[in-house]
Amino acid sequence: MQTESLLKEIGLTDKEIAIYLCLIELGAVPVRTLAQHSKINRGTTYDILKRLLELDLVNYLDKTTHQYFVASDPEKILMLVERKQKELEKVKKQVEETLPELKLIFEKRGGKPVVKLYEGPEGIRAILQDVLDSMEKASEKKYYVFSSASVRKNVYAAMPDFSSKRIKRGIAVQTISLGEGGQLVGLDERRWIASRKTGLDATYELIYDGKVAHISLDNTDNPVGVLIQNREIAETQKLIFEFNWSKL
């Protein structure tokens, strides 16, 4: 039943759903009738009714010698969903505020690097989106790139509007191009290292917010990305970048 599935999605148990749907069907009834109809013992039925009263999905009526319970207007379900959304937004905000401190503790106490593999245009797009989202929240909105001429077009084909999104968010970038090509588009600086015929194509590397992403092509020219999340590794790569930048 679709209704039961929806009620489960908002956090009701099977027995709570059974009691609520019985009340929808029967109208105002005493606990004894409700327990019989739902096939749930009376003590458990009382406990469930208390829970449903707290959620404002049930009300009760006193009729002379018996206490009658009745389902609230089903519109209350939508109100319950909206309330849960607000609670989740509040929790999300608290988590976001706590994350920097937790990440700092994690890294200082020997947290191992997190390595993730991304394949194909969708995977590269996920890396680029992470660059945008991470740098937008960073205290210093600037990241660093070793741009490989052999891989560059495959990177930005995954997100053609990346540069415009970057500029819109006020994110700057310094790029060292390995080989010819590449142009300035805004909030960026670029220097070049002459290409050398070594027989090995360099990877495209992004250094940002405690992460380093290496993007290369597999044997079928499909882009593959490896993302390493570790602040020490990222800072080391940044130092290498800055040294090379100063020499160009």
Query: What's the rounded Cα separation, in Å, for the pair 135 and 203?
Result: 21
In this prediction, residue 241 carries a pLDDT of 95
Spatial CB neighbours of 220, under 8 Å, sequence gap ≥ 6 = none
Of the chain, the percentage scoring pLDDT greater than 90 comes to 42
**φ and ψ at 23, to 5 degrees?**
-65, -35
Same domain, residue pair 144 and 236: yes
In a domain, 94, yes or no: no
Same domain, residue pair 147 and 201: yes
Instruction: Give the domain CATH number at 72.
Output: 1.10.10.10
Spatial CB neighbours of 248, under 8 Å, sequence gap ≥ 6 = 176, 191, 192, 193
Domain that holds residue 17: 2-77
Which domain-ending residue is among 61, 77, 93?
A: 77
In a domain, 87, yes or no: no
Query: What's the rounded Cα separation, in Å, for the pair 162 and 103?
Result: 27
Mean model confidence pLDDT for the chain: 87
In a domain, 103, yes or no: no
Same domain, residue pair 72 and 156: no
Q: Is the pLDDT of residue 234 over 60?
A: yes
- pTM (whole model) above 0.85: no
In a domain, 98, yes or no: no
In this prediction, residue 199 carries a pLDDT of 44
Which domain-ending residue is among 52, 77, 102?
A: 77
Q: Is the pLDDT of residue 125 over 90?
A: yes
Quick one: average pLDDT of 193-201? Answer: 58
- List, for residues 97-120, the tens digit of each pLDDT value: 888 777 777 666 656 778 999 999
Number of domains in the chain: 2
In this prediction, residue 110 carries a pLDDT of 58
Nearest CA among 119, 107, 134, 100 for reference residue 206: 134
